[in-house]
Structure 1
Amino acid sequence: MEAGLSLKRVAGRDAPRRGGRDDAPWERGSSGRAGTGGARRFVGPFIIALAAVAVLVALDYWMNAGRIYRGVEVGDVALGGKTPEEAREIVLRRAEGALERVELRGGPEGEISFDARRMGIDYKVRETVQAAYAVGREGNLLERLGERLRAAYGTVQIEPRVDYRPSVARQRIEEVASRLDRPPRQAEVNVYGSEVDVVGSREGYRVDVEATMRSVGEAVEDMSGEARLVGRVLEPEYTTAEAERAAERARRALDGELVLTYEGRRWTVSPAAIGDSLDITARDGEFRVGVDRDRLRENLSGVYAAINQEPVEAGYEISGEQITVTPSRTGRAIQDEKLLGAIEEGIFEGRREYRIPVAVDRPELTTAEAERLKPTDLLATYQTNYLTYDDSPGRVENLEIASEAVDGTLLAPGEVFSFNELAAPLDYHDTKVIINGRVDTAEGGGLCQVSSTLYMAANLAGLDVIERHPHYAELPYIRPGFDATVWFGALDMKFKNTSPGYILIREWVDRSTGTVNAAIYGRPSGIEVDMRSEKVSETVDEEGNPVTTWITYQTVRKNGEVVFDGVLHKDVYKYLKPAAPDAPYDERPVN
């Protein structure tokens, strides 16, 4: 059991006692004569005073014999003049409720009653009365007289003697708190189909355990048995009233179906679909009712599907050498933000009908423009023979794979053609290639013949070649200076359509003649191109192998007038060495 807890400082009887001897009531003088004279002057009155005090003490003792001195109180109960038995009855009556029950008043339940012992409270009535009776009767003479005087002319408070275990009381209060504490319930606004439902708010509550403990301590001290359950009401941030206001706004939005119109057509949107599109959010103590545009767009998907259509570009269909134009089609698209914004603004104001705003989306290449730019004439052709170099099945199939990747390509005015962009993603056979100046085997043999054939056709068509690389060595299937090697990821062959219209690129392999063929169709431009190449030198390298230098010339006429006549490029070719099994790859293959 814990020690008794004092909730007030003890005065009077329970105050600390002073120790030490009493000083003499007079002092001896510095000379015998003078001291003797002073003593004689004061002896008489002093003896009279002592006699008076003795009489008063005797009278006080006779008047309070067997009774508690007047002015002595326990808590706020006056016990002065009572015998110990009478005082005990008074204290018992005063503490009767507190001895048995402790009432916690306040809080959501109004009043909660506990057995005093379950609260850790056990009053010691007999000991309390004994302490009150002992006032003025214990200690030395001066202490007893002092306590009696204080009792006679004031009040001496005696704390009730009680065994109080605060830890037990705290446990009971915490049990109450666990039952009464609850967070506030926030109001809610929910939309189910076309119906709006409000969940009301509710106050919460939180017990202040420390403040309630202090009140219990005061009740123990004054033996009232009545303490306050101290707590705080927790107000919800979102109240029922605010939810009802938001619900009213939502109900206005659901008051009937929406009607959308476009060019004589009519669509309706049900209140349930509208409800599914509402967005209700709680923020800063308020409900905001708006429109979730993504969900509204989903609920209008049928309308979008009926109206929106992508524009169709005009195109070309190729059948042999015949080119026909496929017609274009104008597209249209609902002006999404404009429509949804209008609905979001008007739906809460009672507007039920909306005209759908639609924007026209025109194709970049219309039918008329495609007809104007349609390739109509053969601009140039070129041919190489693969029988003079390697007609193995794998290489011939590679020639066909790469040619088919290029064949049928349409190039708009100003557009750039890239051979690698079309040919690189495909799979090829391992066939003869030239690596580091030696004949070897690797994937993709034959692609350079396809690119070289197309390179010459592009030159003869008067197109602007913007990337070309020569081979390592002279090759039998094409004249030096007319070749264009490719290497995926490093070397490409590119040209730009500088003609006044679309060009159509055709490329194919003719197995009957053993040739690779390239042809370019386009709009007549009045341009004629001649190509020729000459060997200008022949030397040997450090190992005595021949090295040749070739210059390629080009003459360009426009409407019969020469606009260019000069060197197109200069190339150096090295000797083609025998195969070496361990020869490393380099960045300049020949195939």
Structure 2
Amino acid sequence: MARVSVREKKVAGRRVSRGRRPIRRGGGRAVRAVVLACAALSVLVALDHLSSSGEIRPGVSVGGVALGGKTPEEAREALGSLAFSRGEVRMTGPGEGAAIPARRLDLRFDAETTVERAYAVGREGGIAERISDRAGSLLGFGVPAEVGYSRQGARVWLRNVAERETAEVRDASVGISGSDVTVTPSRRGYALDVPASLAALDEALRALRKETEMVGEVEQPRVDTAEANAAAGDVREAASAPIRLTSGGQAWSVPRSGITSSLEVVGGDGGLRVELDRDAMGKSLARAYAPLTVEPVEAGYAVEGSSVAVTPGKEGRRVEEEKLLDAVEDGLFRGVREYEVPVAVARPELTTAEAESMKPTEMLGSYRTDYSVVPDDGTRVENLGISSEAVSGTLLAPGETFSMLDHVAGLDYNDSKVIVGGKETTADGGGLCQVTSTLYNAANFAGLDVVERTPHSAQLPYIRPGMDATVWWGGPGTSDDLDMKFRNTTGGYLLLREYVAGDGHVYAEIWGKPDGTEVEMHSEPVYMDGTGSEWVTYQTVERDGEVVFDGELHRDAYEPLVDGRGEAIPPTDVPVAPVDP
């Protein structure tokens, strides 16, 4: 019987060693594969080294010059034949571009260092890096050239180019002058990016290229030349022949220049379009159809003795301009050259019938003041006549406001006595306040709405205190205008009459349509002494028998009147005129 070692035991037909790990046969195969691969790689590296020993790797190039398979000496000779450092460097742009002599850039090409870089491809770094570079060289491996140049010189040059190449964008436009139609072409905008262009120049030089593109921002015009040319063609087509206007057997024409000057080219989201300038075309058409226009005659009034007669109105004729312009605007761009002028009746604002219905037929209110109480050499009475005539005959439409200043200011008056600031002096237009006060009271007694009135500073003998009104348009002692205004609150026209009579009075009359208005007015003193006075004016207004106002109209305070010698005349010494002279 065989002996069995205590360290071995036969189990299931295998011998197992105690205390030892079993050997895995699969792990041995992996180790052998790695060893074989390394051996193969070593052989390949060795063969690759032997095949390219002393030569630049295949596929390596510099600036488009293939250096693969050449020795460094051969590569230097190939690169040395380049005239890279001479000639000029050109940068293309949106315009003509620019070129700079290589000598201005102090351009230098270092062939020795460049060849060393090319020879180092696949020979530097770890095995994996070398193998990657060598594999890449088979597909083409560009090596940057060692190039030196003056970057400051390039920067200065590019800045100068930027000043010349930079341009504001310009939209194309159409100009119209008379019959001439011109087109200003569009221009794209351009702004050179100097730092980015410097980077592009550097990249090109390292690739031994002496031409590259400038870097910048291009802005395209919103309206290009083609659009402007098309719009100009539309203008020329619209004005290709005169416009003919006809009416009632008559004919007129608008020449081509008149058409052209009435067209305008406007821009929008949809591009350029040609439109009709209606105001300009209206002026051209108006010159042609002026004979068709007949102004209407307004109805009016004439005073004949104590009655008012209507002066008849007359219809006129007017061209319906907007209607004609609509037709021209619609047809002009469709080739329509002849248009019938639409004519309508022009009615006067006040027709004969309307004037008859609103005719002043009765005197609504009147008043008179005594001018004989004021000493005068004749100049003041003459001023009374001038200002009265300026007022008399005025027609006031319903709702219209009468202004005394609008009628009497600035006329050719005589110098005579006036009251300014309560002082008697001599100035141009003495007597106007008496005419104003007389008309003011006539308006009140007619029941009209007085909207502006200023009393005098002192009592005057020709008008009762509280019932006076002054008018002034600047002069000694004041720079503010004083006016008297009233509004026509009736439903018909008012006729104002004022005149100077030989009986020593100024008369004012307001004629209109009867409206059932009755007015009473008077004034009473609150106090009156040597220092001054205060008067209150009362008014009662009835319409168709019904009292619509009854009370105090206003209160006025008066100072002593200072005469031409500078002496004060107390109110108690000034004659008080009656309510109804």
What TM-score do you get using the length of structure 2 for normalisation? 0.63
Q: Which residue pairs with 2:287 in the alignment?
A: 302
Q: Residues 5-25 of structure 1: CA distance to partner in whole angstroms, max 9, x if unpaired?
A: xxxxxxxxxxxxxxxxxxxxx
Offset, 1:340: 1.6
Q: 1:214 and 1:97, CA in 2 relative to 1: closer, same or farther beyond 3 A?
A: farther
Query: What secondary structure sits across from 2:327 in the alignment?
Result: helix
Query: What secondary structure sits across from 1:119 in the alignment?
Result: coil
Q: Which residue pairs with 1:35 in the alignment?
A: none
Aligned equivalent of 1:520, options 488, 501, 509: 509
Is the CA contact (8 Å cut-off) linking 2:561 and 2:570 kept in structure 1?
no
Aligned equivalent of 1:505, options 473, 497, 509: 497
Task: Tell me whether 1:168 sits opposite 2:153 in the alignment.
Answer: yes
Structure 1: distance between partners of 2:307 and 2:570? 44
Is the CA contact (8 Å cut-off) linking 1:186 and 1:237 kept in structure 2?
yes
Q: 1:319 and 1:344, CA in 2 relative to 1: closer, same or farther beyond 3 A?
A: same
Amino acid aligned to 1:228: T
Q: Residues 87-126 of structure 1: CA distance to partner in whole angstroms, max 9, x if unpaired?
A: 5424423xx2324345548667999876543332112345
Identical positions, percent: 34
Q: Which residue pairs with 1:118 in the alignment?
A: 104
Task: Tell me whether 1:229 sits opposite 2:213 in the alignment.
Answer: yes
Structure 2: distance between partners of 1:180 and 1:420? 69
Structure 2: distance between partners of 1:182 and 1:292? 33
Is the CA contact (8 Å cut-off) linking 2:204 and 2:210 kept in structure 1?
yes
Structure 1: distance between partners of 2:167 and 2:558? 95
Aligned equivalent of 2:348, options 342, 349, 363: 363
Amino acid aligned to 2:298: E
1:431-450 aligned at under 5 Å gives the runs: 431=417, 433=419, 440-441=424-425, 446-447=431-432, 449-450=434-435
Query: What secondary structure sits across from 1:97 in the alignment?
Result: coil
Q: 1:583 and 1:127, CA in 2 relative to 1: closer, same or farther beyond 3 A?
A: farther
Query: What secondary structure sits across from 1:431 in the alignment?
Result: strand
Structure 2: distance between partners of 1:102 and 1:359? 80
Query: What secondary structure sits across from 2:103 in the alignment?
Result: helix
1:275-424 aligned at under 5 Å gives the runs: 275-284=260-269, 286-317=271-302, 325-370=310-355, 384-412=369-397, 419=404, 422-423=407-408
Is the CA contact (8 Å cut-off) linking 1:311 and 1:363 kept in structure 2?
yes
Is the CA contact (8 Å cut-off) linking 1:453 and 1:516 kept in structure 2?
no
Q: Which residue pairs with 2:77 in the alignment?
A: 89
Offset, 1:380: 7.8
Q: Which residue pairs with 2:31 in the alignment?
A: none
Amino acid aligned to 1:89: E
Structure 2: distance between partners of 1:153 and 1:477? 126
Structure 1: distance between partners of 2:335 and 2:522? 83
Task: Tell me whether 1:252 sits opposite 2:252 in the alignment.
Answer: no
Q: Residues 509-540 of structure 1: CA distance to partner in whole angstroms, max 9, x if unpaired?
A: 42xx4x124263757859898989899xx998
Aligned equivalent of 2:469, options 472, 477, 486: 486
Is the CA contact (8 Å cut-off) linking 2:385 and 2:499 kept in structure 1?
no
Query: What secondary structure sits across from 1:298 in the alignment?
Result: helix
Structure 2: distance between partners of 1:550 and 1:106? 97
Q: 1:530 and 1:374, CA in 2 relative to 1: closer, same or farther beyond 3 A?
A: closer
Unaligned runs of 5+ in 1: 1-58, 137-143
Amino acid aligned to 1:353: E
Offset, 1:399: 3.1
Offset, 1:378: 7.2
Is the CA contact (8 Å cut-off) linking 1:106 and 1:230 kept in structure 2?
yes
Q: Which residue pairs with 1:29 in the alignment?
A: none
Amino acid aligned to 2:263: L
Q: 1:238 and 1:553, CA in 2 relative to 1: closer, same or farther beyond 3 A?
A: closer
Q: Which residue pairs with 2:257 in the alignment?
A: 272
Query: What secondary structure sits across from 2:261 in the alignment?
Result: helix
Q: Residues 17-69 of structure 1: CA distance to partner in whole angstroms, max 9, x if unpaired?
A: xxxxxxxxxxxxxxxxxxxxxxxxxxxxxxxxxxxxxxxxxx9xxx99xx957
Structure 2: distance between partners of 1:473 and 1:342? 68
Q: Which residue pairs with 1:139 in the alignment?
A: none
Offset, 1:347: 0.9
Q: Which residue pairs with 1:464 in the alignment?
A: 447
Larger RCO: Structure 1 or Structure 2 (Cα < 8 Å, ≥ 6 residues apart)? 1
Query: What secondary structure sits across from 2:260 in the alignment?
Result: helix
Q: 1:110 and 1:305, CA in 2 relative to 1: closer, same or farther beyond 3 A?
A: closer
Number of paired residues?
A: 499
Offset, 1:381: 6.8
1:131-150 aligned at under 5 Å gives the runs: none
Q: 1:323 and 1:244, CA in 2 relative to 1: closer, same or farther beyond 3 A?
A: same
Q: Residues 436-465 of structure 1: CA distance to partner in whole angstroms, max 9, x if unpaired?
A: 6xx844656544544555566667xx7225
Structure 2: distance between partners of 1:113 and 1:420? 81
Structure 1: distance between partners of 2:515 and 2:127? 140
Offset, 1:337: 2.8
Structure 2: distance between partners of 1:100 and 1:554? 114
Offset, 1:278: 1.4
Q: 1:68 and 1:119, CA in 2 relative to 1: closer, same or farther beyond 3 A?
A: farther
Structure 2: distance between partners of 1:477 and 1:418? 22
Structure 2: distance between partners of 1:551 and 1:177? 87
Structure 1: distance between partners of 2:541 and 2:146? 128
Q: Which residue pairs with 1:48 in the alignment?
A: none
Amino acid aligned to 1:333: R
Is the CA contact (8 Å cut-off) linking 2:529 and 2:570 kept in structure 1?
no
Is the CA contact (8 Å cut-off) linking 2:395 and 2:493 kept in structure 1?
no
Stretch deviating more after TM superposition (342-351 or 355-364): 355-364
Structure 1: distance between partners of 2:184 and 2:102? 42
Offset, 1:314: 1.8
Amino acid aligned to 1:507: Y
Q: Which residue pairs with 1:51 in the alignment?
A: none
Q: CA RMSD in A?
A: 5.8
Is the CA contact (8 Å cut-off) linking 1:431 and 1:445 kept in structure 2?
yes
Structure 1: distance between partners of 2:521 and 2:215? 105
Structure 1: distance between partners of 2:201 and 2:559? 110
Amino acid aligned to 1:508: V
Structure 2: distance between partners of 1:569 and 1:145? 120
Structure 2: distance between partners of 1:268 and 1:516? 64
